[in-house]
Homo-oligomer: A and B are copies of this chain.
Amino acid sequence: MATINDIAARLGVSKSTVSKGLNGATDVSDEMKRKILETAVELGYTNKRLLKKEQKICIFIENMDFENSNQFGYDIVLGFKQMAELEGWTVDIIPVTPQFQRETPYGVFMIQQGYHASFVLGFSLLDPWMQEFRTVRIPTVLYDNYVKSNPHIASVGCDSQEGFELAVKHLMQLGHKKIGLISGPLDSYILRARYHAYLNALEKYGLEINENYIGLGYYVAESTRTYIPKLLEQGVTAILFSHDVRAISALTECDDRDIRVPKDISIIGFDDLPMTAYTVPPLTTIRQDRIALGKCGYYAMSCLLNRIPIGSILLRAPLIVRESTGPAPESDRE
């Protein structure tokens, strides 16, 4: 671990300048403060006095609602806090934007605020801090994201491969042969992982892989509206969705077009949001146990704080069979 001496030596300034810079004193220029902080991050400096004074960690959250119990992030945050607070940590929740990330480097923010570690929710591959995570030396746990080879970063998530294999197996047993995928765009780590999981699952069960069975689009309702008829035209009899929200919008779309679920088409979501038990028909989906995800986030952080170089934790992704899946129509609609 680097000390104030190391930073001073690197920059050719005095120890007291470094100390002042780190503590935001007004008689050090902003330019020098920036240099001091950036060097501190680069060298892996930790402010032991500040860290000792405040036993705090934080959750960075973006693109994810978490304030109400029916929202996706709520239980993840809850599970994490249940574990962390039990062990004496104060947990701050910090919503962030790409602009905030561009203005404040991750390492600088963590040193200035005295956080020991962070749990990062909802980032896409385009978020500016994702670059910084490749080299940062602060214990950081990413949900549904992955950074290679950095021993200070761990990932937690559900096993998309396991989930999609269970889903495809279930559909095969119901006689389906042409299985489609409707997903968000591949600009996030997890959507890429699910896309490959879909392809692998089809390959594993010897089913046809056909790019015309796949619909990728940013806007939920719009892409559902576009792709449901396209996939049906191709003879697809069952569709996997990257998220429950998309699957639920498909139920509405099918209802509007008098397409019967599951008689004409079977639909499987991903997440098991609370409302999926109450849709018409109730949705077959792959469960993400969000309380457990939050707890695992804390387990992974404990490992990193104890210098156990964990890379990833994957939770089981069980298939919850409800009523949106049924036997394949007698013959393909070609």
Contacts and interface: CB of A to CB of B under 8 A. Distances in A.
Interface in A151-182: 151, 159, 162, 165-166
Given A149-B166, A299-B299, A316 B306 contact: no
Number of identical protomers? 2
Given A162-B148, A162-B149, A302-B299, A311 B314 contact: yes
Interface residues of A, number: 27
Contacts of A318: 149, 151, 309
A234 interface: no
Given A312-B313, A313-B313, A296 B292 contact: no
A218 to B, nearest CB: 28
A310 B149 CA distance: 22
A37 B303 CA distance: 37
A244 interface: no
A166 B311 CA distance: 14
Given A299-B302, A313-B313, 13 more contacts: A149-B166, A149-B316, A149-B318, A151-B316, A162-B311, A289-B308, A292-B307, A292-B308, A296-B308, A299-B303, A309-B315, A310-B316, A312-B313
22 contacts: A148-B162, A148-B165, A159-B312, A162-B311, A289-B309, A292-B307, A292-B308, A295-B306, A295-B308, A299-B299, A299-B303, A308-B315, A309-B316, A309-B318, A310-B315, A311-B314, A311-B315, A311-B317, A312-B312, A312-B313, A312-B314, A313-B313
